Amino acid sequence: MQLEAQAQENLVTTAPAAGADPEALKGDESLIEDIRLLGRLLGDAVREHEGTAAFERIETIRRLSVAASRNQDAEADRNLDALLRALTAEEARTVIRAFSYFSHLANIAEDLHPLQQRARAQASGAFTGAPSLATTFARLRKAAVGAGKIAQALARGWISPVLTAHPTEVRRKSLLDAEHAIFKLLAAREHMRGKAERAQNEMQLRARVSQLWQTELLRHSRLTVRDEIENTLSYYRSTFLREIPRLYADIEQRLDGLRVPPFLRMGAWVGGDRDGNPNVTAESLSTALRMQCETVLRFYLIEVHELGAELSISRRYAGCTKALEALAARSGDDNPHRDDEPYRRALIGVYSRLAGTLEKLTGGQAARHAVAPGEPYANSWALLADLVTIDESLRVHHSEVIATQRLEPLIRAVEVFGFHLATLDLRQSSDRHEETIAELLSAARVVDDYAALPEAEKQQLLLRLLSDPRPVRLPGATYSDRATSELTIMERALEMRRLYGDEAIRHYIISHTETVSDLLEALLLQKECGLMRGTLDPRDAQRVIADLIIVPLFETIEDLRNAAPIMQEFYALPGILKLVVNSGGQQDVMLGYSDSNKDGGILTSIWELYRASTALAEFFASAPNVTLRLFHGRGGTVGRGGGPSYDAILAQPPGTVNGQIRLTEQGEVIAAKYANPQIGHVNLELLVAATLEATLLSAHKTPAPEFLEAAEELSQAGMAAYRGLVYGTEGFVDFFFSSTPISEIASLNIGSRPASRKPSRRIEDLRAIPWSFSWAQARVALPGWYGFGSAIAHFIEEDEKARLAILRRMSEEWPFFRALLSNIDMILSKTDMSIAHHYAGLVEDKALAARIFGMIEAEHARANDALEKILGSKERLADNPTLARSIRHRFPYIAPLNYLQVELIRRHRAGERGEDIREGILMSINGIAAGLRNTG
């Protein structure tokens, strides 16, 4: 290869990834240009810092991979494999860094491109019909849904993305900051016309890419819970604190100025989710809420300081209300130069009180000293009252535009974020609750072996204890560390609510809910720790209240089928309905996408989630004064409920949304959706848009009976095929642990939470994230499609023509089935059986590998055949050519990462333990995830 003849055509620039092939993307010139530019700059950085030999090696690998992937060149594939196998661990690490960083840079360009297209469409007044708030409001207008009805729906609504920790990836803030800077520089190029200006911009980009290359891709030390908390908080600083108020302003503008109360709020798990994570303790809970509080208070301090600098309004030229005068008088500011500036003085007083609040609640000091000591605010409502006083004075005295543009966003932020920032959920397994209750009851000599009691006797005993004002805990008694830890966390939750407000902790999630007693146990723990006041005794009916909503999490297929019956039985118990109504009348129920998929496969998981949602909605529709809110435990992969949130919400059963939805956001999906504020705004907008459509337009669109019957039949056949492989095939566990990086993810895990709940190799004990993540890394993505092909083949076996007609109607008329097909279509487009074959080569028992991989290949072929028959196209993603091109052109740049991951895993398992091996595996995991984008 004559490098000099390429005119500086550097790393991955001859056939750009991420959908940047010039022939395939004629009309996407800006995207092509951006990716070529970033690729060239990355190549220059590699050559400058690693030398020409390293650069040429990477270029050779790239060209071989392109030939092998796009041209199906078998010789190129063999040469590529041989070249990669011959690399030293240090050389491999450099190659992995190069291809990983290219995926990150390509993602930046790909993320920017649709935003630019969207902005151009808005500027021209074009209506594209693509999902957006504008599209949703247009549909609502067409359906004669007025602004008043929309405002009412939002006023009753509760929409909450919940950020959770991820055991396989935490994005470094240094990288997020660098990537955001590159994004902004790249975006600025669209409006540059002069050569000098573009040249200067390119130099700035070159500096940022060079900085990126010299920055560690990953942290090398195991992350603590505190690290994970800090990582999560970075998304608030970059996106949520500013973009959520902007979204409210946009919505209210579309509602002709009608103001809506807060309906979009953030949730969090990091620091409160102790299910299977012994590192989450009462101290973690305190740390999380203290750090959340500090983040939001420092944001308020910055905003108030800037407002004080801006609102230099003089009393000589504009009046103010008496309330504003009084607020200014209490500020403690006696500077004569500001005597005629009441707004500035009032804000100085607000700043002083906020500084005092920060010190009181977190021990921190404000970045700028307050003019005078201020009394800490008792709560966020007191702060809000002062801001409203300023706002009202501005509006009364002809400064409405200032109030709307500058003060209103801060007021909205305080309404949404309070002093707690995000509602932190508590989560623990029902097994730990039972263990703790059993110990308490044994020590109190109530019953020797609570766990051995039949379910009916457990319920009777728990109801009796919940109706008795006396505590079960004995003063001065000594309990085990595990029981003490559970009780201490509950007691700490009570303290945190008093300190940061009731919304700081509102939900108590019970993993593995299987029985009514699982709910009663969590309620009894609340009572023991002061979080429940009053009893279930009928004489206490008017005053009994629980601070935390008991949230059952139904995870397995059987549990999903029992979800509605369990809730019906729970609410039939004496005193429960009254307790819930007194406590706010809200009942959250969490549905587990990940574990239900691991249990029954993609078809049965999605179908049983649909059925459980429907049954729960039907029951709670008849429960007086109780509002059901479904909490969707979705991940990034299709196998974990992933896929576009907009489509997923519209695919929910009719009548199950009703303006109420919570859903988890995890792993690299958080970074992809929320690290960039512009992209974050769009994703938040789509979340609101979908919820409005599902509530106001789709609530009564019931699917045809034959669709429901077909879905049930498909579910049964799909589950049989899936469980036949995963749980019924001898040697499957050995195959999985050998042919995927699961062992390395577990042993090299840098997250705070273990990859398995128990120290075993049982699939049942493995956490769903490492399960899905490992299959995605190996380019199989088995949880996202396995069983689908067999189910379709079984369904059309009797009468292919008639049965296919039903399936095609389902695809056209039923959002649920259409979303399912779309997700399977997408995930199959990201699989690569030729690369997966390399991973299967890691299995020592070659006969076992051939047998099980053969089963996987056969089902993969059936799945593709099934989609072709239903959708009418052999090509994957035929209805989304932009995404199809993106994925297709990414493959040559992901493949070297896969090949090197296999090679480094082989060396690691053979006993090589060098740091380069470890780092190489970890970086390859990150790079593949960045390339595939939704793997966790």
Specify the pTM. 0.92
Biggest CA-to-CA distance, the chain: 91
Triad 674, 676, 682: Cα angle to 5°:
65
**Residue 860: half-sphere exposure toward Cβ, Cα within 13 Å:** 22
Dihedral sign for Cα atoms in the order 91, 93, 98, 103? positive
Catalytically annotated residue among 104, 166, 420, 512 = 166
Tell me the mean pLDDT in the region 305-316.
92
Task: Map tokens 């053979």 to a residue.
Answer: 910
Q: How many CB atoms lie within 10 A of CB 368?
A: 11
What is the pLDDT, as a whole number, of residue 169? Answer: 58
Quote the DSSP letter at residue 816: H
Lowest mean pLDDT among 63-72, 346-355, 542-551, 716-725: 63-72
Cα distance between residue 133 and residue 687, in whole Å? 9
Tell me the mean pLDDT in the region 144-151.
96
Query: Which amino acid is located at 109 in the chain?
Result: A
What is the pLDDT, as a whole number, of residue 221? Answer: 73
Is 578 one of the annotated active-site residues of the chain? Answer: no
What is the pLDDT, as a whole number, of residue 763? Answer: 86
Structural contact between residues 553 and 633, judged by C-beta atoms closer than 8 angstroms? yes
Cα distance between residue 773 and residue 925, in whole Å? 9
Cα distance between residue 41 and residue 37, in whole Å? 6
Tell me the mean pLDDT in the region 784-792.
97
Helix (H) or strand (E) holding 865: helix 846-871
Lowest mean pLDDT among 77-91, 208-222, 492-506: 208-222
Structural contact between residues 762 and 733, judged by C-beta atoms closer than 8 angstroms? yes
Strands 586-592 and 627-633: parallel
Q: Cα–chain-centroid distance for residue 478?
A: 40
Task: Map tokens 């009608």 to a residue.
Answer: 258
Query: Which amino acid is located at 232 in the chain?
Result: T
Structure tokens at 423: 């509602």
Closest listed residue to residue 461, CA positions, set 528, 539, 517, 519? 517
Bridge partner list, 429: 511
Tell me the mean pLDDT in the region 752-775.
75
Q: Does residue 935 register a pLDDT over 80?
A: no
Torsion angle of the four alpha carbons 694, 699, 700, 704, in this order, in degrees rounded to the nearest 10: 50
What is the pLDDT, as a whole number, of residue 865? Answer: 98
Tell me the mean pLDDT in the region 295-299.
99
Tell me the mean pLDDT in the region 327-356.
93
Dihedral sign for Cα atoms in the order 867, 871, 872, 876? negative
Structural contact between residues 597 and 646, judged by C-beta atoms closer than 8 angstroms? no
List, for residues 185-199, the tens digit of each pLDDT value: 999 998 898 999 999
Q: Which CATH number fits domain 293-417: 3.40.605.10, 1.10.1040.10, 3.90.25.10, 1.20.1440.90?
A: 1.20.1440.90
Highest-confidence range of 61-70, 802-811, 927-936, by mean pLDDT?
802-811
What is the pLDDT, as a whole number, of residue 467? Answer: 97
446 phi and psi angles, rounded to 5 deg: -85, -45
Task: Map tokens 């959250």 to a residue.
Answer: 588
Tell me the mean pLDDT in the region 461-475.
96
Cα distance between residue 565 and residue 563, in whole Å? 6
Tell me the mean pLDDT in the region 720-740.
97
Q: Does residue 667 register a pLDDT over 80?
A: no
Q: Does residue 505 register a pLDDT over 50?
A: yes
Is 598 one of the annotated active-site residues of the chain? Answer: yes
Domain ranges, ordered by start, for the chain: 3-128+169-243, 293-417, 423-696, 705-932
Structure tokens at 509: 């999630």
SS (HEC) of 633-665: ECCCCHHHCCCCHHHHHHCCCCCCCCCEEEEEE
Query: What's the CATH fold of domain 423-696?
Result: TIM Barrel (3.20.20)
Looking at per-residue pLDDT, the higher value among 542 and 490 belongs to 490
Helix axis angle, 800-813 to 815-829, nearest 10°: 100
Phi-psi label, residue 703: left if phi above 0, alpha if psi -120 to 50, beta otherwise: beta
CB burial of 904-915 (b: ≥16 within 10 Å; e: otherwise) equals: bbebbeeeeeee
Structural contact between residues 428 and 276, judged by C-beta atoms closer than 8 angstroms? no
Structural contact between residues 719 and 603, judged by C-beta atoms closer than 8 angstroms? yes
Closest listed residue to residue 654, CA positions, set 696, 595, 594, 712? 696
550 phi and psi angles, rounded to 5 deg: -80, 115
What is the pLDDT, as a whole number, of residue 5? Answer: 29
CB neighbours of 77 closer than 8 A, spacing ≥ 6?
64, 68, 834
Q: What 3-state DSSP class applies to 267?
A: strand
Strands 660-665 and 158-163: parallel
Structure tokens at 755: 């990859």
Q: Does residue 409 register a pLDDT over 90?
A: yes
List, for residues 225-274, the tens digit of each pLDDT value: 998 899 899 999 999 999 999 999 999 999 998 999 999 999 999 999 99
Looking at per-residue pLDDT, the higher value among 126 and 444 belongs to 444
Structural contact between residues 664 and 167, judged by C-beta atoms closer than 8 angstroms? no
Residue 140 confidence class, pLDDT cut points 50, 70, 90: very high
Lowest mean pLDDT among 200-209, 505-514, 905-914: 905-914
Structural contact between residues 450 and 511, judged by C-beta atoms closer than 8 angstroms? no
635 phi and psi angles, rounded to 5 deg: -115, -160
Catalytically annotated residue among 305, 578, 598, 860 = 598
What is the pLDDT, as a whole number, of residue 170? Answer: 56
Closest listed residue to residue 418, CA positions, set 296, 515, 518, 273? 296
Q: Does residue 371 register a pLDDT over 80?
A: yes
Highest-confidence range of 117-126, 229-238, 925-934, by mean pLDDT?
229-238
1-10: long-range contacts (C-beta < 8 A, 24 or more apart)? 1/56, 1/59, 1/60, 1/63, 3/52, 3/55, 3/56, 3/59, 8/40, 8/44, 9/40, 10/39, 10/40, 10/41, 10/42, 10/43, 10/44, 10/46, 10/47, 10/55, 10/59
Structural contact between residues 441 and 464, judged by C-beta atoms closer than 8 angstroms? no
Structural contact between residues 729 and 893, judged by C-beta atoms closer than 8 angstroms? no
List, for residues 67-88, the tens digit of each pLDDT value: 998 878 889 999 999 999 999 9
What is the pLDDT, as a whole number, of residue 25? Answer: 43
Residue 752 confidence class, pLDDT cut points 50, 70, 90: low
Q: What 3-state DSSP class applies to 420?
A: coil
Average pLDDT, the chain: 91
Q: What percent of the chain has pLDDT over 90?
A: 76
Q: What percent of the chain has pLDDT over 70?
A: 93
Structural contact between residues 692 and 155, judged by C-beta atoms closer than 8 angstroms? no
Structure tokens at 432: 């730990």
List, for residues 319-334, the tens digit of each pLDDT value: 899 999 999 999 988 8
Structure tokens at 552: 């059952």
What is the pLDDT, as a whole number, of residue 537? Answer: 95
Closest listed residue to residue 920, CA positions, set 86, 88, 170? 88
DSSP letters of 706-768? HHHHHHHHHHHHHHHHHHHHHTTSTTHHHHHHHHSTHHHHHHS--SSS-SBSSSS--GGGB-H
Residue 370 confidence class, pLDDT cut points 50, 70, 90: confident
